[in-house]
Each structure stands twice: as structure tokens, then as C-alpha cells.
Amino acid sequence: MKWTFQRKWVLGGFYLTVLSMGLVSFVSYKNTAELRQSVKTIQVTYEIINNLTDLYAEMSVAESGRRGYIYFGSEEELRRYQVAVKNLQSEIITIQQQIADNKIQQKQFSYLKFLVAQRLTLLRQSIELYQQDKTAVEKQFFLTQKSINLRSNIFFIFARMKEVERQELELWLNESRTNIQTRIFLENFGIVFSFIIVLIVYFILYYQWKQNQKLEILKQKVAQEKELNFLKIRLFSMISHEFRTPLSVILASSQLMTETLHGLVDNQKLKSLDRIQSSVKLMNNLLTDILMLTRAEAGNLECKPEPINIEEFCLNLVEDTQVLSQAHHSIKFMSGFSGGRVYLDEKLLYSVLNNLLLNAIKYSPNGGQISLILKTELDFIIFQVKDEGIGIFPEDKTKIYEPFYRGQNVDRIVGNGLGLAVIKKCLELQGGEISLESEVGAGTTFTVRIPFKK
């Protein structure tokens, strides 16, 4: 890619310099009567050579775009290929009009168009093959080899056509050697003009070199960022593992103590054990949210849809959440779905709905009614979680999905501000979306829409 860009500008500058010097010599040997005709002839020759150069350059750009798309899957490279193909057609029409009076060049150009059409067909077949089967390396190699062979023939025709144009230009130069003073002036002008072209090419190459340096620095930063994300995931995974083990011991021990002491001590004294169990479960949820959010930000969280019984899944989730709420809230499940199994990522869906239900419990008063509603709309499955809690201020609605952000009216309620951020990431992986309706002091309704297939 880098060499192709530089070569294009170097060759363009070189041919432009040669053409300018030829223009100077051509005009300098033409007498006053032939001056206008000489200028016109040089102008046409210049445009033909320049357009031929542009045509070959566009062919190189098309090949480069095709290669970039095949190797890196870049849509930008595909668009670059498409633009180059469109420009090729325009250049072909222009050149055909310019050589309309030259039968020799018309014959050469007809063969050139045939070769160009063949090569464009190979490039198109290569892109279509990649879009159908990205692993067809041998077929891609075969198409590439055929394209390379055609490129040699195309370059040969380009060279012959340019040589014909240069020979005709030389003929005009040999016929117009009359005015020495004009020749000296034009030669000096040509030298200055060529020097300017060289300077322009130099500055272009220098600019490209600086851009490449910036790109290398950016690549290094991206690599460092990936490494830091990897280390961060390992750190949080290790912390999560190290915390979960003692937390599991604490939870199991407190549950065993509750069962052992049940009936031996009054229920008031057992509340401390219940608080321990609730705190352990909340701590486990926090560790899960942190680890999931970290993996999502690093791009290591994947969506793996599997067939699940969605109604049974929701009932189990409500039952688990009801146990966690310790009967302080009433959770009601309503279903308008009768489709049986659907393909969804169970872990991601559990994280979404579990966080929404836990938030509804957390921000609702004891005895409040919480509803989980399941329904479908076209190709979307819809979940709604309604509560009768404290509600959300309008100015907080666009910010609550940011990590660690908490609303203005939750200062007295313990929380970490991660739940909705995790929900947002999980839905993005599934192609879903979330919206909310809320009134301060009257409750909140979160609506989750996820595309699905049976």
C-alpha cells in the first residue's frame, strides 16, 4: 500500500516533468505561423499521456482496494475499489475521444480495453468469492495470478501507446526549430517548472512519510491498549476468583447457621444472618458486573445464541430474584408470548433482566409491586420491568447508562452505578436496545427490545 502510493506520485511527477520538457522543446522549434498548432498538438499529447497514466493509476488503485478488502475486510478499501472502477470508465471514454483521429492508437486502445475489462472481471470475481467464502485461499491465489499476468500485458500496451505519443511529439519538435530566443526562454521555463514539480512530489512524499509515522505511533498505542485491556481482564478475573471463594464459604456457612439455629432462636436474631447472605449475593453480583463490563469494553465478550424456553427462563429468574428480595417485594410475571423456544444468549439475557429486577427491588419501597412483562412484536422479543419506586429525573435519563453514574435522588441508597452500563453492553452485543419511561416518585418502566429467531 505504502509503496504503491509513493510510486504513483513519483511516476506521475516524472512523466509530468518529461512532458513539460517535451512541450518546451516542441514549441521552441515551431515558427510563428505554426505556434498555435504546435501548442494545440502538445496539449492533446499531454492529455493523452496524462490520461493513460491516470488510467493505469486507477487500475492500480482498484487492485490495491481489492487487496485491502480481501486481506483486511475493510469496507473503506471496498469503496475505494468501487470509486476506482468508476473512474476507469470515465478515463476510457476520455481517451477514446482523444484518439478518435489516430487509427494506430485506436487499434492499440481497443486491445487495451479488452485486457482492462478482463482484469476488472477477475477483480470482481475475487471480491465476490471473498464475500461468499473468506477461506477460499487457493481460488483467490489463482485469480490473483491471472490478474498479475494481465497486468503485464496491460503495462506493455500502455508503454506502446505512450511511446507512439512520444514519437509523434518528437516529430513535431523536429519540425519547429526556428526561434532560438524563444527556445532558451522556454527551456529555462521548463527547468523551473520541472523543479517545481519535483518539489511538489517531494513535499507529497514527505507528507506521506509523516502520515506513516503517525500511523505507526497509532498502531503502537492500539497494541498497548489491547495489552492493557488483556491485563485488566486477567486482574479482574483473578480478583473475582479470589473473592468468590471466601464469599461462597461465608454464604454457605451463614445458610447452614440459619438452618441449624432455626427454631432455637427467635427470628429477630436470625435477621443478621439474612443480611450476611444478602450482602454476599450483592457482592457476587457486583463482581459479575465488573468482570462482564471489563470484558465487553475489551471486546472479549461474545454473543452465543442458543435455544431456550423463554417463559421458563423468566419464571426461574423471578423466583431467584424473589428469594433475594426476602419477600419484601411482590414480583409478578406476565407473558403474552406463546412461541416456545427462541435463540438468545442466556447469560447475556440473564445479566440484563437480573440487573433490571435488582434495580427495581433496590429503588422501590417495601411491599411495592414489580412486574416483568414478556411479549413479542414482529421479529423482536420485548421485556418490560415496571416498578413503583422513586423514579428517575429527566436530566438523568441519558446519563444513567454510563459506568458509575447514579441519579440525583439515590444518595441514600447503596449502589455502584454499574448495572445499567452492563445492561447496555449486553444489549449491544445482541443487537438490542433499551428505553425507559419514568416519573419521579411514581415509578419507572424499562423496555428491552431484542431481535430473535425461533
- Work out the burial of residue 39: count CB atoms within 10 Å of its CB; fewer than 13 is exposed, 13-18 middle, 19 or more buried: middle
Integer Cα distance of 313 and 182 in angstroms: 92
Angle at 179 between CA 176 and CA 184, to 5 degrees: 105
Strand order in the sheet with 330-335: 330-335, 369-377, 380-386, 443-451, 433-439
Quote the pTM value: 0.46
CB atoms within 10 A of CB 71: 12
Type of residue numbered 22? G
The torsion region of residue 340 among left (phi > 0), alpha (psi -120 to 50) and beta comes to left
CB atoms within 10 A of CB 379: 10
The values of phi and psi at residue 138, to 5°, are -65, -45
CB-CB contact of 400 with 438 (8 Å) = no
Cell of 408: 440525583
pLDDT score, position 2: 47
Q: What is the pLDDT along the chain (454 residues), one digit of tens a residue?
A: 445 555 666 666 667 667 766 666 665 555 555 556 666 777 777 787 788 888 888 888 888 888 888 888 888 888 888 888 888 888 888 888 888 887 888 888 888 888 888 888 888 888 888 888 878 778 888 888 888 888 888 888 888 888 887 887 777 666 665 655 666 676 677 777 777 877 777 777 777 788 888 888 888 887 777 776 666 666 656 666 566 677 677 767 777 777 777 767 776 666 777 777 767 766 777 677 666 667 666 666 778 889 999 999 999 998 888 876 665 788 899 988 876 788 898 988 988 998 899 888 888 888 788 999 999 888 889 999 999 888 888 888 888 888 777 877 777 776 667 788 888 888 888 899 999 998 888 889 999 999 987 6
Residue among 117, 111, 105, 110 at smallest CA distance from 49: 105
pLDDT score, position 255: 72
CB-CB contact of 178 with 30 (8 Å) = yes
pLDDT score, position 137: 78
Integer Cα distance of 143 and 150 in angstroms: 11
pLDDT score, position 36: 60
Integer Cα distance of 105 and 114 in angstroms: 14
CB-CB contact of 244 with 287 (8 Å) = yes
Integer Cα distance of 276 and 250 in angstroms: 8
Alpha carbon distances (Å) from 301 to 221, 348, 355: 22, 10, 18
Integer Cα distance of 183 and 46 in angstroms: 19
